[in-house]
Chains A and B, each alone.
Chain A
Amino acid sequence: QVQLQESGPGLVKPSETLSLNCTVSGGSITTSYWSWIRQPPGKGLEWIGYIYYIGTTNYNPSLKSRVTISLDTSRTQFSLQLTSVTAADTAVYYCARAKDIKTPYYLHYWGQGTLVTVSS
């Protein structure tokens, strides 16, 4: 059973870069699509972007200028970097994996989520 676990700082200062990792276990990272999604407190879900296991990325147009998603197959991790953060980026951040390579947006496996607060 594929399991995902987010990790990273829970507090980031405004204007700095938010960096999170997602560690994958129970399955290969050299397959499928790997996504990041976020959810501000009390609000809905927002897809941030994905990376395909061969390195192709696709980002939410509203965040594209600030987002980088990368894959480290040797460490079975993928990562999120979000630059120039503001309080509006405060959210629970989830990593997720698509069910298979045919459906990149069917997010079947989810991490438990990690709260990142942007504050000085």
Chain B
Amino acid sequence: NFMLTQPHSVSESPGKTVTISCTRSSGSLTSNYVQWYQQRPGRSPTTVIYEDDQRPSGVPDRFSGSIDSSSNSASLTISGLKTEDEADYYCQSWGVFGGGTKLTVL
């Protein structure tokens, strides 16, 4: 089986752009779609990106996803940061979740 590695935490100021990476340990990341979930404290996860780069309806276009096959990594980019974006973010591919990244907007 493989692992998905994310940074433990990232922080950025309101209005700025942040990128969270998700690197697959073995096998090709392009073998399975990548999803990104946002989880606020005490709440269930919600999807912000599915199938690598698709946004569910209702998710603002400040959220975008991409895949870099050369580094076997996926990225979640959030632009125009708002304080409400502060949450934990998890990547997922097949039945594997990344360890999660805590985003602080300060």
Contacts of A94 in B (CB 8 A): 44-45
Of the candidates A50, A60, A103, A110, the one whose C-beta lies within 8 Å of that of B33 is A103
Q: Given A99-B50, A105-B92, A46–B35 Cβ distance below 8 Å?
A: no
* Given A45-B45, A45-B100, A99-B50, A106-B90 contact (CB < 8 Å): no
Q: Mark B23-40, 1 if CB is under 8 A from A, else 0.
A: 000000000110101010
Task: Return chain A residues, CB-CB under 8 Å to B37.
Answer: 45, 107
Which A residues touch B32, using CB under 8 A?
Answer: 105
The smallest beta-carbon distance between B51 and chain A, in angstroms, is 7
Please name all residues of chain A whose beta carbon is closer than 8 Å to the beta carbon of B39 when the two chains form the complex. 45
- B93 contacts the other chain (Cβ, under 8 Å)? yes
How far, in whole Å, are A119 and B20 apart by their CA atoms in the complex? 37
- Place the interface of chain B in its size category: 20 to 34
Given the known interface contacts A58-B95, A106-B50, the answer about A111 and B44 at a Cβ–Cβ threshold of 8 Å is yes
> Which residues of B in the span 43-71 have a Cβ within 8 Å of any Cβ on A?
44-47, 50-51, 56
A26 at the interface (CB under 8 A from B): no
B98–A44 CB distance below 8 A: yes
B-side contacts of A49, CB under 8 Å: 95
Closest CB of chain A to B33's CB: distance in Å? 7
Interchain CA distance A103-B94 in the complex, whole Å? 9
Question: How far in angstroms is the closest Cβ of chain B from A73?
Answer: 24
- Further contacts, 17 of them, CB under 8 A, given A47-B92, A108-B47: A44-B98, A45-B39, A45-B90, A45-B92, A45-B97, A46-B97, A47-B95, A103-B50, A105-B93, A105-B94, A105-B95, A106-B35, A107-B35, A108-B50, A110-B46, A111-B44, A112-B44
CB<8 Å pairs between A and B, sample of 24: A44-B90, A44-B98, A44-B100, A45-B39, A45-B100, A47-B95, A50-B95, A60-B95, A61-B1, A94-B45, A103-B50, A105-B32, A105-B95, A106-B33, A106-B35, A106-B47, A106-B51, A107-B37, A107-B47, A108-B56, A110-B44, A110-B46, A111-B44, A113-B44
